[in-house]
Amino acid sequence: MSKIAAVLLAAGASQRFGAPNKLLADLRGKAIVVHVLDVLERAGLVGVTVVTGWDADSVKLALSGRDVRFVHNPDWATGMGSSIGVGIAALGSDATGAMIVPGDMPLLEADEIAQLVAQFDAMGAARVVYPVTEQGEQRNPVLWPRRFFADLRALDPSNGAKQVLRRLSPADCLGVPISDESTLIDIDTPEALSAVRKD
């Protein structure tokens, strides 16, 4: 069975959200980033690596006492690619795969994460696995085999990991259909958070 590491991205300044740190916004009594960590743990991913950047101390406080490892990205402002690189570089040599998880996806379901991991194992830990919509569009989180770790460490900071996905052949990837696409949304604006709170 594969040993899957999780890299939880919590470094950005959430500019579209406004001045508050969106990852710390309350949703049903818990900060958004806490919801995400809870889901990862329920899915069986432990020892999560949290990449901090802007407002690092507040993120650490929100996750204090949890089974996580914090790594700081001093270049967080250059873009998500730099945070992914920092997170991947911090993983141990025994990780057969890494699930890159944005910290602003509080509606993720543990069984969806487990489904991605099961498909990753079924493919021999060799293919990139991610959820897809009914239309076949790729969504987060993405589970990467170790053979792509070097590519992730060398990402262009401003473009994230999609730059690697675009170079891969269909044989390198596996899209897993998700029945409830609403669980794959991220919270980018106050309006998005308000809509989720009303559900």
129-178 pLDDT, tens digit each: 999 999 999 999 999 999 999 999 999 998 889 999 999 999 999 999 99
**Per-residue pLDDT at 19 exceeds 70:** no
Name the percent of the chain lying above pLDDT 90. 87
CATH code linked to domain 4-198 = 3.90.550.10
**Tokens 């675009």 label which residue?**
166
- pLDDT tens-digit readout, 85-136: 999 999 999 999 999 999 999 999 999 999 999 999 999 999 999 999 999 9
Query: What is the chain's length?
Result: 199
- Averaged confidence pLDDT in the chain: 95
**3-state helix/strand/coil string of the chain:** CCCEEEEEEECCCCCCCCCCCHHHCEECCEEHHHHHHHHHHHCCCCCEEEEEECEHHHHHHHCCCCCEEEEECCCHHHCHHHHHHHHHHCCCCCCCEEEEEECCCCCCCHHHHHHHHHHHHHCCCCCEEEEECCCCCECCCEEEEHHHHHHHHCCCCCCCCHHHHCCCCHHHEEEEECCCHHHHCCCCCHHHHHHHHHC
| Cis preceding linkage at 170, omega within 30 | no
Structural contact between residues 155 and 84, judged by C-beta atoms closer than 8 angstroms: yes
Q: What is the pLDDT of residue 20?
A: 83
- pLDDT tens-digit readout, 45-76: 988 999 999 999 999 999 999 999 999 999 99
Catalogue the long-range contacts made by 25-34 (C-beta closer than 8 Å, 24 or more residues apart): 25/187, 25/193, 27/106, 27/193, 27/196, 27/197, 28/197, 31/62, 32/103, 32/104, 32/106, 32/187, 32/193, 33/8, 33/59, 33/62, 33/63, 33/103, 33/104, 34/62, 34/63
**Which pair of structure tokens corresponds to residue 178?**
């998700």
Structural contact between residues 149 and 140, judged by C-beta atoms closer than 8 angstroms: no
**Per-residue pLDDT at 83 exceeds 90:** yes
Taking the model in full, what pTM does it have?
Answer: 0.96
